[in-house]
């Protein structure tokens, strides 16, 4: 899925104060490529991902995500895009503590497909991230790396064309981080466009394009300066 962003800006209103979080961002991410974004805390990285996800809407600019016009699309079109084409791995996993691993992975598709079919697919996804044997565990019985892999399995349930990842290796030990990187590389090789935000220097070395977010401005940088 190709992404084209031109002069994208976003301002949050907080009481009487307005914060210009994204400033005139212009970027193209070709279909099947991988963009890694680094930058200081609070610089706007998560907000950028949220705008690409269509969860959030930019105030100004052109935002094309595949065939979707992110600025003009209706809420129905945006939610259809999220359901059919988008995988999003959140910074804090966002697992449902009251449900086991298998159910957590099944949740996004539950309203749309027969339950048995979803369960089969969820098991395949768990197998692909090496977690099938944990399918009946509750989230509080999982390690950080296992929670994160559950979140990946869930994000892949709808065979997304675009995968957005917010700090996917945050708080992982080296072994789990390497597993995570290998899984993301495999997903990207299968043709999925990846946009990833990270503070992890090892992970930041991956990708075709490297963006640096500073104070709401996104610029491309070469790997040598990483
Ligand atoms: N809903 C909101 N209302 C007001 N301000 C917000 C909102 N969401 C984010 N911000 C502000 O926007 C700025 C950018 O936040 P964002 O989460 O995009 O940064 P980030 O680069 O992802 O940071 P981190 O690396 O710490 O996750 C911050 O100053 C934050 O306080």
- pLDDT above 90 covers a percentage of the chain that reads 73
Residue with the smallest CA separation from ligand 1 atom 6 is 12
* Tens-place pLDDT, residues 113-167: 899 999 999 999 999 888 999 999 999 999 888 998 999 999 999 999 999 999 8
Ligand 1 atom closest to Cα of 13?
Answer: 4
Give the separation between CA 142 and CA 148, rounded to whole angstroms: 9
Domain of 105? 3-225
pLDDT of 187:
92
Cα distances (Å, whole numbers) of residue 169 to 129, 151, 158, 176, 204: 14, 12, 22, 8, 11
The structure tokens 């899925």 sit at 1
Count the domains in the chain. Answer: 1
The beta-strand segments (E) located in the chain are 3-14, 17-29, 34-38, 60-65, 68-69, 86-89, 162-166, 193-197, 209-214, 217-220
Distance between first and last Cα of the chain? 26
Give the separation between CA 106 and CA 110, rounded to whole angstroms: 6
Please choose, from the candidates 80, 117, 94, the residue with its C-alpha nearest in 3D space to the C-alpha of residue 166: 94
Ligand 1 atom closest to Cα of 12?
Answer: 4
Give the separation between CA 221 and CA 211, rounded to whole angstroms: 6
Residue with the smallest CA separation from ligand 1 atom 30 is 42
* Tens-place pLDDT, residues 69-92: 999 999 999 999 999 999 999 888
List all residues whose CB is within 6 A of at least one atom of ligand 1: 12, 14, 19, 21, 39, 41-47
pLDDT of 226:
47
CATH of the domain at 179: 3.40.50.300
**DSSP annotation of 114:** -
ipTM of the complex: 0.94
């Amino acid at each position: 899925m190709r992404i084209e962003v031109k002069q994208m800006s976003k301002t949050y209103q907080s009481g009487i104060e307005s914060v210009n979080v994204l400033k005139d961002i212009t970027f193209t991410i070709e279909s099947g490529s991988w963009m890694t974004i680094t930058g200081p805390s609070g610089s706007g990285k998560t907000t950028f991902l949220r705008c690409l996800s269509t969860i959030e809407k930019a105030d100004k600019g052109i935002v094309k995500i595949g065939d979707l016009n992110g600025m003009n699309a209706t809420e129905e079109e945006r939610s259809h895009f999220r359901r059919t084409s988008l995988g999003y791995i959140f910074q804090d996993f966002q697992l449902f503590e009251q449900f086991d691993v298998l159910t957590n992975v099944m949740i996004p598709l539950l309203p749309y497909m027969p339950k048995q079919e979803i369960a089969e697919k969820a098991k395949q996804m768990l197998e692909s991230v090496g977690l099938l044997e944990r399918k009946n565990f509750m989230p509080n019985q999982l390690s950080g790396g296992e929670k994160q892999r559950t979140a990946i399995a869930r994000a892949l349930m709808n065979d997304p064309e675009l995968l957005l990842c917010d700090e996917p290796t945050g708080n992982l030990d080296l072994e789990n981080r390497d597993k995570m990187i290998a899984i993301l590389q495999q997903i990207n090789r299968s043709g999925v466009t990846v946009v990833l935000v990270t503070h992890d220097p090892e992970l930041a070395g991956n990708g075709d394009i490297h963006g640096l977010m500073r104070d709401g401005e996104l610029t491309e940088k070469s790997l040598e300066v990483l």
